Amino acid sequence: HLFRAPLVCLLMIFAIGLNTYGWRVSGVNHVLIFEVDPRNNLSGFQIMEASSLLGIIWFVSVLLYAFLGEVDYSVRNRLGFAFIVLIAGLVVLLFPFKTLYWRSRYWLLRRLGRICLAPFYRVEFADFWLADQLNSMAVAFLDLEYAVCFYSFDWDRDVLANEKRTCGSVTYGLRPIIASLPAWFRFAQCLRRYYDTREANPHLINAGKYSTTFFVVLFSSLAAAEKEREDGEQQFGPFFGLWVASALISTAYTFSWDVFMDWGLMSRDAPPNRRFLREELVYSRKWYYYSAIAMDFFFRLLWTFSVSIGEKGIFHSAILSSILAVAEVFRRFVWNFFRLENEHLNNCGKFRAVRDISILPLRVQAAGDDHTDGEAVDGDEALLDDDLENEGVTDMHSTIMSAVRRAASSGEFQLGAMQQATAMASHGEEPLTTARHEDTAL
């Protein structure tokens, strides 16, 4: 429990670094989707580097714990190394000075604060995406709760003795609440999204998906409490059956949402050569998608091992839960690729504002035509002026047309020049010439 919490966190951070690198090379605009500063954001390699450095501290602590056990160093003192790892991670995250990727750390802390206060803040894509990552780290939440409890109450006891300990029990009610926190964050976000949009579909339906986790936690906790009362004797009472039934419903619900909603697959518009996928794809090979669907289904069902071989004592429950925790991190790592791809292509969450300005075709005359360049541009200006007035954006007319005149007179008019001029005019800036735009891009 004490070493597993930082391990799961570091694996998740490293996986997100791999995701970031994959989005960048595949052309998925994660910078726009997450609304981070394009001039100051961590690359995938920087994220992996940070997690690797903290991972070295974790690995050395585990080695010291194991090695000092061979020289009869007390277990109580050796467990202090896990405490050092936890404190090191907390210090790095909360380090108050402008170093150690401070902009990214502050961004993360702000997002975590918004997640914790989900009903009171408007939900943005980064908020719900980060909350989804926390849902895949429920084991780490429980381990962190155990660590706080252990170092507060049980550290001074003989950890090898069979005396009853305070921590790790569900009877005092805190662990079920901690286990439900990640799902509550997303549940509250869905309710806030419904409040802001008044769209029951998909937000209330999505909230229903996360509410199934509450029933899973409730019935699993009651089944565990019943087992504790019987001093560990195997009991398959009514709460155990309700636990399994609620977990099956939750699995079917979440898997369907992953494929149909989060990834946008199984589309009716998919061409015959992309059956069960969607019309547009970013990643080059179709088998990526089919493999992801099969993998997600398999990993969603891994909990069945905990209620079969785990409950029967065939496999040590702590080791089994550690394996399942790592598997869930990998599942989320794959999920991230296709969730960002779907958002990139379809803006399915409607987190990005889109404003289309229809502009009639501009008839730019070639150099050898009968009309002069000035006459062509003046005619096009009239067409564009009428269209802009119909769209209600006449405040940008003069600045846009200034760029159009310069580009058309040089014979280098392109659609990209119009888009660049529109974007700069909306920010109150003077558009550059086409050549200067090219210099800026370089």
The encoded tokens of residue 109 equal: 């802390």
Q: What is the pLDDT of residue 350?
A: 62
Would the pLDDT of 323 be above 90? yes
Would the pLDDT of 243 be above 80? yes
For the segment 87-112, the average pLDDT, to the nearest whole number, is 92
Single pTM value for the model: 0.77
Q: What would the pLDDT profile of 111-150 be if each residue is shown by its tens digit?
A: 999 999 988 989 999 999 999 999 999 999 999 999 988 8
In whole numbers, what is the pLDDT of the chain averaged over residues? 80
For the segment 410-436, the average pLDDT, to the nearest whole number, is 44
Would the pLDDT of 79 be above 90? no
Assign 288 a pLDDT band (cuts: 50, 70, 90).
very high
Assign 409 a pLDDT band (cuts: 50, 70, 90).
low
Would the pLDDT of 442 be above 90? no
For the segment 7-36, the average pLDDT, to the nearest whole number, is 95
Q: What would the pLDDT profile of 136-195 be if each residue is shown by its tens digit?
A: 999 999 999 999 888 888 777 655 555 566 677 766 678 899 999 999 999 999 999 999
Q: Give the residue among 253, 185, 189, 190 at the shortest CA–CA distance from 216.
A: 253
**Which three-class secondary structure state does DSSP give residue 405?**
helix
Would the pLDDT of 380 be above 60? no
Distances (CA, A) of 414 to 224, 302, 361, 366, 406: 67, 54, 11, 14, 12
Q: What is the pLDDT of residue 385?
A: 46
Would the pLDDT of 307 be above 90? no
Q: Give the residue among 283, 321, 287 at the shortest CA–CA distance from 302.
A: 321
Q: What is the pLDDT of residue 269?
A: 86
Percent of the chain with pLDDT over 70: 72
Would the pLDDT of 58 be above 60? yes
Percent of the chain with pLDDT over 90: 52
The answer to whether 336 touches 16, Cβ cutoff 8 Å, is yes
Cα torsion at 356, 394, 390, 359 (round to 10°)?
A: -50
DSSP 125-160: HHHHHHHHHHHTTHHHHHHHHHHHHIIIIITTS-TT
- Give the span between the Cα atoms of 230 and 205, in whole angstroms: 39
The answer to whether 335 touches 296, Cβ cutoff 8 Å, is yes
Would the pLDDT of 277 be above 90? yes
Assign 308 a pLDDT band (cuts: 50, 70, 90).
confident
